[in-house]
Amino acid sequence: MGLCHPLPVFISFLSKTFLFPGTMNLSDKPKTMIPKGVATFLPEETLCRRKIEHDLLSVFERWHYQELTPPIFEYLDVFSLGVGEEILDNAYKFVDRATGRIMVLRPDVTPQIARIASTLLADEPRPLRLCYSANVFRHQEEHAGREREVFQIGGELIGPSDAKADAEMISLTIEMLQSLGLKNFRITLGQMAFTQGILSRFKTDPALFKKVLSCVAKKEASQLETLLRQKALDDTSRREVLSLLDLFGGEEVLARAAVLTDDSVCRSAIEGLQSVYGILKAAGYQEYLLIDLGEVRGFDYYTGTIFEIFSEGVGIELGGGGRYDHLLEKFGTASPSTGFALYIERIQAALAWVSAQSKVTSRK
């Protein structure tokens, strides 16, 4: 496939797309302008991306995952069954001229896989191991510095509900990043059923719940304390909620969480995460793992173990995933499922950082 030179590739991508969007004279070259948040990839850049795609899909193949290609747009009323309000709000929509129905450029691939598994592959034996390479489209504010067209490579494991399946997703992720030459990355593990259990006492007050969720996500202790006083919680409940801000670290966090609450759902969730951690530890992956039980990304979507991937030199996650046991039933066929996706541009950024650090080290 040829060698990939990520540093000049990604610097070129950044400069054309995010860093210097205003340097082009609109009156001089209006035909060359493209919307912010998307990019044109020239031959060298495309070669690099194809190399990454090839390496990642090769790992999927070794794990016996089958690649499929979902459509780039779908009917909104069908697609909306599998996504939350926030994703739909940021989706690009248009009217189908043939039917008058509203269509949507896919903002997420997992709901598409869920629909396919629940309908076209409903009679196929489980487990189903499926993978994809696809772009998704989401509106982002210009100042956010995020892409509007995101290239993903991901996988879904449909059928199993045990810790081995969750561990398989994370093991796959680690093997993929290692195959690209990345070493200094970390994966934060969370347990959404545990977090949901701790925060369930706020569900009766949607406005307050939204504020509490935001505080937990941003680790804003003082603001969270203020909100808890509004709810007039007892000392035990207050301690449990505030603990979400501190349940971050190594394996010892799991032991602390196990005795935090008497709630049976929360305790069962921690036992499940301990099993996942144990499998990964036995496989020699402990050095990559951190625990973050205050992670609330996808609060109404995920149902169990969740994870995000971070790497040195990149200030945003390289990808993530988790268990979503209730998604497929929305399309007609219930089945426990888990999956993840990696973002190609961000992986390129991580590889660029590694390349730059290597050059600095070689000069010393």
| Helix segments in the chain, DSSP class H | 6-14, 43-62, 76-79, 85-89, 110-118, 163-179, 192-199, 206-218, 221-231, 235-243, 252-258, 264-282, 344-363
The answer to whether residues 39 and 163 belong to one domain is yes
Contact 236, 259 (CB under 8 A): no
The answer to whether residues 61 and 128 belong to one domain is yes
Tell me if 288 is assigned to some domain: yes
Predicted pLDDT at 59:
98
The answer to whether residues 141 and 227 belong to one domain is no
Tell me if 257 is assigned to some domain: yes
Predicted pLDDT at 18:
39
Predicted pLDDT at 29:
56
Predicted pLDDT at 84:
83
Torsion of CA 112, 113, 116, 119, to 10 degrees: -100
Number of domains in the chain: 2
Tell me if 151 is assigned to some domain: yes
Q: Which of 293, 311, 329 is the last residue before a domain boundary?
A: 311
User: Which domain CATH number covers 202?
Assistant: 3.30.930.10
The answer to whether residues 179 and 42 belong to one domain is yes
Tell me if 10 is assigned to some domain: yes
What distance in Å separates the CA atoms of residue 182 and residue 167, rounded to the nearest whole number?
A: 20
The answer to whether residues 139 and 263 belong to one domain is no
Tell me if 85 is assigned to some domain: no
Quote the tokens at residue 55. Answer: 């390496």
Give SS3 for 337: strand
Predicted pLDDT at 361:
73
Tell me if 6 is assigned to some domain: yes
The answer to whether residues 126 and 236 belong to one domain is no
The answer to whether residues 245 and 284 belong to one domain is yes
Pairing of strands 337-343, 289-292: unpaired
Q: Is the pTM of this model over 0.75?
A: yes
The answer to whether residues 302 and 322 belong to one domain is no
The answer to whether residues 306 and 317 belong to one domain is no
Predicted pLDDT at 30:
61
pLDDT along the chain (364 residues), means of 10: 47 41 49 80 90 97 98 95 88 96 96 96 97 94 72 98 98 98 96 96 89 93 91 89 96 97 96 98 98 91 96 94 96 96 94 88 68
The answer to whether residues 253 and 164 belong to one domain is no
Tell me if 100 is assigned to some domain: no
What distance in Å separates the CA atoms of residue 160 and residue 183, rounded to the nearest whole number?
A: 29
Domain that holds residue 320: 1-69+122-184+313-364
Tell me if 164 is assigned to some domain: yes
The answer to whether residues 53 and 150 belong to one domain is yes
Predicted pLDDT at 178:
97
The answer to whether residues 199 and 300 belong to one domain is yes
- Nearest to 260, CA basis, from 247, 249, 248, 250: 247
Predicted pLDDT at 35:
86
Predicted pLDDT at 340:
98
Quote the tokens at residue 76. Answer: 């909104």
